[in-house]
Amino acid sequence: MRIECIAIGTELLTTRRVDTNSVWLGERLASMGLGFGRKTVVGDSREDLAGLFREALGRSDLILTTGGLGPTFDDFTKELFAEILGADLAEDAGSRADMMTFYAARNRVPPQVNFKQALIPVGAEPLRNPVGTAPGIWWLDPPGHPGVRIVMLPGVPREMKRMWEEQVEPRLRPLAGKAVHTLRMVVAGVPESNLDERTQVVRQQHGHLDWTILANLSQVELLARGPDPAALEAARTDFKPVLGTDLVSVGDGNLEDAVLDLLKARGETLAVAESMSGGLLASRLTAIPGASAAFLGGAIVYTVKAKAAFLGLDPSWLRTVGTVSEACASAMAEAARQRLGATWGLGICGNAGPGTEGGAPVGTTFIVLAGPDGTVVRSPTLAGDRAEVQLRSTALALDLLRRQMLLLG
């Protein structure tokens, strides 16, 4: 079934209002195993809308519109569809009664312009609006388009949502797709293009699945979708050897979840000391419920004073080795680990920019993992602006710990 969404409203083309309706509708459709093939946002222009409606009628089985059902001069979704399809409009007594009740409850009389909202294309059904005055439209088999369904919903999110849940979803349920299952594999420490190349052959072997690669600064996701859970399970089995230890997790979790899960499984704990990343590493970990079972705490040591006060590092020694150095990151990691009695300590220092710091170019990064058997160091030069460098440094730190735990088995 080909489904498209048309969000109508000039304001949705500006920055004044963002179309969130179609995102919500996409989520509801996905829960029914359905999904959009296309979403369009278009202004209140008769010509643009008429062109788009004609195109949609030619290519889609289910057309969802939001907006343009109101009483004002720039609302004409219903009228335009009726015109294109050669259908008349007729007043629906129930919709008119609903409107009178709505206004009576507020001790008001409907403005004259509002009555056009009770006009419904002949052959279509009105969808009652329990929280507003504009009824929606359910139009099955419109003239010349057997099998097509047009669903017109109000643009006001709470009216749209209620109408969808109570009246549209039940009508669509018989069409619900076979549930679509997803296999999500999270990979870290590998660029997107490398992952693409490495997995090309095995993806082709599972070419009946629908594949997507999504990368962010922290991790890459490989997503497969298909109706058959066994096919997804087979793909998972075949991908394991290809991804090796680059595979962070399978399922909903992200890099930080995987690290916390590994720590908990091993009965180990982590303390951090952050200079350049300024609390972002701790924040990513503590965003996960239950983090405190493995994450003990951290020191954000943005200044020499803080490095001395929270970690006991010697200010004159720090000035000698420099606060952007492997020695500094190493001392930070070890001090955090020892002060909290943690299994692992992670220290991050460097220069996130925008200016150079102590002669270190932007992106200079030192990450040290201190553990029971000594330290492991990463000292990459990270690309990007301040926010990117900070985020990348925390991803590398998390992945360093993850790999070290895997290595120890």
Please list every residue from 190 through 229 that binds a second copy, using CB under 8 A.
191-194, 196-197, 200, 210-214, 223
User: Which token pair is 258?
Assistant: 């995987």
Choice between 87 and 333, CB closer to a second copy: 333
Choice between 88 and 166, CB closer to a second copy: 166
Q: What is the per-residue binding string for a second copy in 121-140, x denoting contact by CB under 8 A?
A: ----------x-x-------
> Which of residues 124, 153, 222, 280 is near a second copy by CB under 8 A?
280
> Which of residues 93, 97, 387, 408 is near a second copy by CB under 8 A?
387
Does residue 361 belong to the site contacting a second copy (CB under 8 A)?
A: no
Q: Whose structure tokens read 């922290």?
A: 218
- What's the closest the beta carbon of residue 367 comes to a second copy, in angstroms? 16
d(CA 245, CA 242): 9
Residues contacting 73, CB < 8 A, separation 6+: none
What SS3 state is found at 64? Answer: strand
Choice between 166 and 385, CB closer to a second copy: 385
Q: Of 227, 174, 235, which Cα lies nearest the Cα of 206?
A: 235
User: Which token pair is 266?
Assistant: 């091993």
Choice between 87 and 218, CB closer to a second copy: 218
- What's the closest the beta carbon of residue 79 comes to a second copy, in angstroms? 16
Choice between 164 and 295, CB closer to a second copy: 295
- What's the closest the beta carbon of residue 287 comes to a second copy, in angstroms? 6
Does residue 404 belong to the site contacting a second copy (CB under 8 A)?
A: no
Residue ranges in 152-171 that form contacts with a second copy under rule CB under 8 A: 158
Residue ranges in 50-89 that form contacts with a second copy under rule CB under 8 A: 51-52, 55, 59, 70-74
d(CA 103, CA 99): 6
Residue ranges in 233-272 that form contacts with a second copy under rule CB under 8 A: 271-272
> Which of residues 66, 95, 114, 167 is near a second copy by CB under 8 A?
114
> Which of residues 34, 39, 177, 236 is near a second copy by CB under 8 A?
39
Does residue 43 belong to the site contacting a second copy (CB under 8 A)?
A: yes
d(CA 46, CA 50): 6
Contact between 369 and 230 (Cβ < 8 Å): no
- How many residues of this chain bind a second copy (CB under 8 A)? 99
Q: For residue 271, count CB atoms less than 10 angstroms from its CB and return exposed for 0-12, middle for 13-18, buried for 19 or more.
A: buried
Sign of the alpha-carbon dihedral angle for 40, 46, 52, 53 = positive
Residue 170 parent element (H or E): helix 169-172
> Which of residues 33, 143, 227, 384 is near a second copy by CB under 8 A?
384
d(CA 22, CA 8): 11
> Which of residues 241, 341, 372, 374 is near a second copy by CB under 8 A?
341
CA terminus-to-terminus distance, the chain: 48
How, if at all, do strands 270-274 and 344-350 pair?
Answer: parallel
> Which of residues 292, 320, 356, 379 is near a second copy by CB under 8 A?
292
Residue ranges in 317-336 that form contacts with a second copy under rule CB under 8 A: none
d(CA 312, CA 299): 11
